Every structure is written in C-alpha cells, then in structure tokens.
Amino acid sequence: MQNFDVSIERRGTHAMKWDGFAPIYNLENTDGILPMWVADMDLATPDCVIDAITNRLKHPVFGYTGVNDATYRAVQQWLQSHHNFMVAQEEILFRHGVIPALANAIAALTDEGDTVLISTPVYHPFYFIPTNLNRKLATCPLHEQDGVYTFDFATFEEALKTADAYILCNPHNPGGMVWSKEDLTEIVRLCQKHNVLILSDEIHADLVFEGHSHIPIATIEGAEDVVTFMAPTKTFNLASIQSAFMIVKNAEQREKIATYYAATGQGSINVLAIEATRAAFEQGEAWRKELLSYIEGNMDIVCAALNELEGIQAHKPQGTYLLWIDYRQTGLSEEVMMARLLQDAKLALEPGTKYGEEGRGFLRMNLACSRDTAQEAIKRFTKIMA
C-alpha cells in the first residue's frame, strides 16, 4: 500500500511546478510559495513503474527501440477492462505526449485555413495549437451554472456549421466534468451531421471518482472516425517520462498520420516510456484505486473548507485532480486575487483566464498532493479571505 501522506521534496529537481514558475507568475523570488498549478502530482509514481524502468536500465544498450507487443497488449487490456474500448494493435499510435499527438493529428488530418472548434473554458494549448498550425480557431462557450458545465447544444450546432474539426476534452479540464453518454451521443450526432472530425483528448480518463464513469467517445455508435488521445502520464505521474498514444480506428487517417510522422522525422517513443507504460497498465491498478480515494479525500476536505468562505464556491469535480474554484461573489478582480494569493497567501494557483475569458472569476487548484499540503493550502487561502 502506498503512503501518499509522505511529502516529497521536489525543489532542486528542475520540476516545472516547483522550480520553474517564477517567469510564469512574473515573480523574482518564489521562496516560500506553495505551487499548486501545473497538472502533475507531488506523489510518487507506483513502485511497479520504477522497477520496470530500473530493470531496463540494467541493460546497457539504448539503441533505437520499437514498442514491444507486451506494451501494446497492456494498453489494449487496460482500455478493454476500464473503458470497454476494443482496440487493435495497429490502431494504437504512440507519441511522446498528448499535446504533440494532437498537433500531429491536426496537421495530418486537416488543411491550412480549416476551422478547429473548441468548447471553452478549456485546457489552454487547445487555443494555440490550431492557430500555430495556420488553422482558424472557433470557440463555443459551455453553459455554466454554479461551477457546473453543460453543453448548450443549440449554440454548439451553430458553431459546428463552419467547423472542420472539434477538440473535445473529456474528462474536462478545468471543469472536472465527465461527459455523459447522452452528451457524447449528441456530440457525435451533430459532428456527423456537419461533417466535423472529432479529436478527443481523454488524458484524464482514469482519474474519475466513484459514481462516475468515463466513456471514450469513440465507443459511441457512429464514432468510427474519432481520433482519441490517451496516456498513462496523468494517472501515474509520468509526464517527464513522456508517453502517450492516439487511437485511430480509420485506416485512411492512420495512413495520413504515418505519412506526416515520416515527413517530420518522428520515430518511436523512448525505451523507458515503453517500459513504464507497460508496467503502469499491467500492474498499476491497485495503486490507481488508492490514489483516487486519496485525492477524493483531498477534494472533500478542501471543498468543505473553501465553501465556508464568503464569496467562494468550490464544486467537487467528477474527475481529474483539479479543483475549479469560483470566487466571482467576492467581487475581486483576477489581478487582485492573484496578487493576494501570491504575495499574502504564498499560494500559486492558476488564474481562470488561462483557460479562456469564461474562466474569469475562477482559480484552478491542483490537489494531487499530500493531505498536509492540502491542509496547508486551506490555511493559506483562508488567511487572505478573512
């Protein structure tokens, strides 16, 4: 059993979260600031993953290495047992990150000048990847009430009329929604009707709390052309090991992506990522369950404490370890809130507008940390609201 209560010192490891946030927050000195921003965990990856990497390191040759059958099998079995998602080996295309994979898919499957639609607020790279690739970006706001997001399908359909591709975020970062079968079915129906390619970022699929279940949109009837993006990296805290994959059911799309990989000189992922992925999916399930229950504990404590504060609403997410905190009722501007947090509370949370204008009045707090850290965050946040 993993002891998630242990606090691990990450300063000094060049961790972006702990050592790299001065320029992001425009600070000269980050001493004493508790960082709860970028989406990685302060918790140790499971032993099975460390053992797999260590074992591979014992072989002294690190020449070009392809993905082995055991790793493909581990991915296939995980997807089948966790998500009822049946995938053939050739449909799994590995890449070193979901974001690079998404960029590759947009480049390979859409044309310059095409329009890529996103539902906002949403994970910020969704804004700049399409535009950096000379695609037009179209945004369609999600409907929000009390921090809970839903699709406004009338507005969504209107936006789809001029779109060529749509990037779905499921579970949703930053809102923590796990989209329902009804939502996904309607998204598929509307995208089919308007001939819009669905690119579905499901990196948070395995971080879903009791009472909710993740459904890959590619498993919805009629969704054969969806490209799905997944990874072991969020769930097992392996971001810098760099492993992700696309599931591409359509052979013609796979051909286009393969051609794009070849044209841009992209080879296999690294050998340690291959071994880590296999171990995580083969042996990491018990650890994942413990992790989820620990994070849910953090969520419960932090939500209860923040909801006591005047003007603050923290709605427990259905999935992800990210808490989306609504402070609109305080009347504070984002500038004032961020200044208070950084200078007075010594707490680095993410400003909501990072996820789009609809995020104004919200903060994102990363609760993949020890219970002590979560308690400390409550103490610091409470201090500035007094």
Ligand X SMILES: Cc1ncc(COP(=O)(O)O)c(C=O)c1O
Stretch that binds ligand X, among 93-101, 178-186, 310-318, 347-355 (CB under 6 A): 93-101
Which residue among 106, 107, 142, 203 contacts ligand X (CB under 6 A)?
203
Question: What 8-state DSSP symbol labels residue 74?
Answer: H
Q: Does the footprint of ligand X cover residue 241 (CB under 6 A)? A: no
Q: Closest approach of Cβ 60 to ligand X, in Å?
A: 29
Which residue among 52, 98, 109, 295 contacts ligand X (CB under 6 A)?
98
Alpha-carbon distance of 354 to 265, in angstroms, equals 32
Inter-CA distances, 27 with 20, 24, 34, 361, Å: 11, 8, 13, 22
Cβ proximity to ligand X: between 239 and 306 the closer is 239
Alpha-carbon distance of 166 to 115, in angstroms, equals 9
Stretch that binds ligand X, among 4-12, 91-99, 137-145, 271-279 (CB under 6 A): 91-99
Q: Closest approach of Cβ 57 to ligand X, in Å?
A: 23
Q: Does the footprint of ligand X cover residue 169 (CB under 6 A)? A: yes
Site of tokens 């936006």: 159
> Are the C-beta atoms of 256 and 241 separated by less than 8 Å?
no
Cβ proximity to ligand X: between 278 and 354 the closer is 354
Structure tokens at 184: 């996904």
Q: Closest approach of Cβ 331 to ligand X, in Å?
A: 30
Alpha-carbon distance of 50 to 155, in angstroms, equals 47
Alpha-carbon distance of 366 to 121, in angstroms, equals 17
Inter-CA distances, 358 with 141, 147, 245, Å: 7, 11, 30
Site for ligand X in 324-363 (CB under 6 A): none
Q: Closest approach of Cβ 322 to ligand X, in Å?
A: 8
Give me the 12-51 binding string for ligand X, x by CB under 6 A, dash otherwise.
---------------------------x------------
Q: Closest approach of Cβ 215 to ligand X, in Å?
A: 16
Burial group, residue 167, by CB count within 10 angstroms (0-12, 13-18, 19+): buried
Cβ proximity to ligand X: between 305 and 355 the closer is 355
Question: What 8-state DSSP symbol labels residue 143?
Answer: E
Stretch that binds ligand X, among 94-102, 150-158, 265-273, 293-301 (CB under 6 A): 94-102
Q: Does the footprint of ligand X cover residue 166 (CB under 6 A)? A: no
Alpha-carbon distance of 351 to 115, in angstroms, equals 27
Residue 171 contacts by C-beta under 8 Å, 6 or more apart in sequence? 177, 178, 179, 202, 204, 205, 207, 208, 214, 317, 318, 319, 320
Burial group, residue 124, by CB count within 10 angstroms (0-12, 13-18, 19+): middle
Which residue among 30, 71, 115, 173 contacts ligand X (CB under 6 A)?
173
Give me the 49-88 binding string for ligand X, x by CB under 6 A, dash otherwise.
----------------------------------------
Q: Does the footprint of ligand X cover residue 244 (CB under 6 A)? A: yes
Q: Closest approach of Cβ 325 to ligand X, in Å?
A: 17
Q: Does the footprint of ligand X cover residue 239 (CB under 6 A)? A: yes
Q: Does the footprint of ligand X cover residue 97 (CB under 6 A)? A: yes
Q: Does the footprint of ligand X cover residue 201 (CB under 6 A)? A: yes
Q: Closest approach of Cβ 17 to ligand X, in Å?
A: 11
Residue 337 contacts by C-beta under 8 Å, 6 or more apart in sequence? 327, 330, 351, 363
Residue nearest to ligand X (CB): 97
Closest CA to 382 of 282, 314, 317, 333: 314
Residues that bind ligand X (CB under 6 A): 39, 97-99, 123, 169, 173, 201, 203, 231, 233, 239, 244
